[in-house]
Structure 1
Amino acid sequence: MPFIAPSDAPAFTLHGAVFTGLASPSRGAAETATWIVTLPAGVPATPHQLTREEIFVGLEGRALATVGGQAYEVTPGSALVVPPHTMFTITNPDAAPFKAVALLPVGGQAVIAGQAPFTPPWAA
């Protein structure tokens, strides 16, 4: 399907973050999965990596990200490019929620220490 209305976008919660699925293979995309990630205040960062490059574009609020040991501040209009197989965290240090659009090539999987790689349901 070439159009996903907000009412058709499923929401998933993992480690306190909310992922609103937009484009993905199950919703008609063949090459790129996109979603909106919302980080409420105080949600602890979960260190993880992905098997493909992931991109975040800040929409609202502010987040602090660490990518391969380097710290970044993600704000509205900024883009964070996370290389594949690179440990990273992203957290919201403020009272207001942080929102970003995230993009991941279809087939990309998340890797959390001690767990088998998995395809996040919002990207499936």
Structure 2
Amino acid sequence: MPFVHEDQAVVHEIHGARFVSYVRPATGSRELAAWRGEIPAGTVTPEHVISAEEIFYVLAGRIRLAIDGETAELAVGDAASAPAGATLALTNPTGEPAHFWVTTRVGLSAVLPDGSTITPPWAN
């Protein structure tokens, strides 16, 4: 299925954020996964270590992204690349929701501060 329409996207919610999954194996992708992240105003996501590179592109609002201890505020049109093995944290420091696009490889997992591992369904 090379085309995925908005009404076919699957919504997942975790850690106060929403992940709207478009591209994944269930929609025909073999190598890449892509989703729209939505993070409400003031939300702080838990720090986590990612197993695969992730590319971020801000669609609306502003996010504060920390990658291996280096932090930047990103606005509409800004992008960032987090390498595999990086420690990642995302915050919305504003009073408005933020939306961003993320692309990674299929099979992504993340290790949380308590040592547990999640395999997000929006990337697998």
Alignment TM-score, normalising by the size of structure 2? 0.94
Identity of aligned residues (%): 34
Structure-1 separation of matches of 2:72 and 2:79 = 10
Aligned amino acid, residue 77 of structure 2: G
Matches within 5 A, 1:20-59: 20-59=20-59
Please identify which structure carries the higher strand content: 2
Q: CA deviation at 1:95?
A: 1.2
Aligned amino acid, residue 40 of structure 1: P
Size of the alignment, in residue pairs? 124
Alignment TM-score, normalising by the size of structure 1? 0.94
Structure-2 separation of matches of 1:110 and 1:22 = 20
Q: CA deviation at 1:21?
A: 0.3
Structure-2 separation of matches of 1:78 and 1:68 = 18
Matches within 5 A, 1:1-124: 1-124=1-124
State the Cα deviation string for residues 57-90 of structure 1 (Å, max 9, x = none): 0100001111111111111111111111111111
Secondary structure of 2:20's counterpart equals strand
Q: CA deviation at 1:45?
A: 2.4
Aligned amino acid, residue 90 of structure 2: I
